[in-house]
Amino acid sequence: MSTVPTLNGQVIGQAHYATRALLERTIAPLGVEFHQLLALNVLANGPVEQAQLTQRITSTLKVDEREVRRVLTTLVDADLAQSDPDTATRLRLTDAGRAVQARIADAVAGISARLYADIPPAEASAAAQVLTLVTQRANAELAATEHTGAGNASIAA
């Protein structure tokens, strides 16, 4: 007899970490780490102010600004990103960065196609709605605890 698990942080986390491990294994031959992947994906849409890019990555990955600066420095050092010639405060992809990001996008598309195949569209949509709501609520709680300096940590999320 199969039982359906209860939707909770553990189930969501297991899906996240399994998917992330698969993605990291796929991008490792490209010499790209997970945090760099997000920056490359953002930069694929065109030059971005470094402050905006930093805010996007810190809010998405829940890492501090020092980690984001490290990530951006490694992208520049690897010649995957560079300062925009129009303004030094913006970063943009180099030709090499665009090529790597395109390979990453292809890899992500392949992984997604395999993992989400056969999931009925209505179920996928419902899951996306629920996960979006959970993310919004968690972000709201994080923002509230940042302002008060207090946290309500719970292991049984």
Residues 43 and 101 sit within 8 Å (Cβ to Cβ): yes
**For residue 150, what pLDDT is reported?**
56
Residue 23, judged by CB atoms within 10 A of its CB (0-12, 13-18, 19+), counts as middle
Per-residue pLDDT of the chain (157 residues; tens, 9 = 90+): 568 889 899 999 999 999 999 999 999 999 999 999 999 999 999 999 999 999 999 999 999 999 999 999 999 999 999 998 888 899 999 999 999 999 999 999 999 999 999 999 999 999 999 999 999 999 999 989 877 765 555 544 5
**DSSP class of 134:** H
pTM confidence score: 0.81
**For residue 2, what pLDDT is reported?**
67
